[in-house]
Amino acid sequence: MVTSTDRDLELWRLARTGMDQVVVRIGSDDWARATPCVEWDVRDLLNHLVGSNLRHITLIAGGSERDFWQARAEEQVLGVDPTADWMSSADALDLAFAEPGAMERTVDYRMPTGRALLHGRVFDVTVHTWDLAEALGAECVLDERLVSACLAGPLAEVLGKGLGMPATEDHEQLAAPPRSPLAPGMSDQQRVLWLAGRDIGR
Say whether the peptide bond before residue 82 is cis (omega within 30 degrees of 0).
no
pLDDT tens-digit profile of 115-135? 999 999 999 999 999 999 999
Burial of residue 75 (CB within 10 Å: 0-12, 13-18, 19+) is: middle
Contact residues for 202 (Cβ-Cβ < 8 A; gap 6+): 183, 186, 190, 194
In a domain, 132, yes or no: yes
For residue 93, give the CATH number of its domain: 1.20.120.450
In a domain, 197, yes or no: no
pLDDT for residue 109: 87
On the CB side of 175, CA atoms within 13 Å amount to 13
Q: Which residues span the domain enclosing 135?
A: 4-27+35-143
Residues of the chain with pLDDT under 70: 73-74, 158-182, 201-202
In a domain, 196, yes or no: no
In a domain, 175, yes or no: no
In a domain, 137, yes or no: yes
Structural domains in the chain (count): 1
In a domain, 81, yes or no: yes
In a domain, 74, yes or no: yes
pLDDT for residue 164: 41
Q: At what angle do helices 42-60 and 82-98 cross, to 10 degrees?
A: 30
pLDDT for residue 160: 60
In a domain, 121, yes or no: yes
pLDDT for residue 181: 52
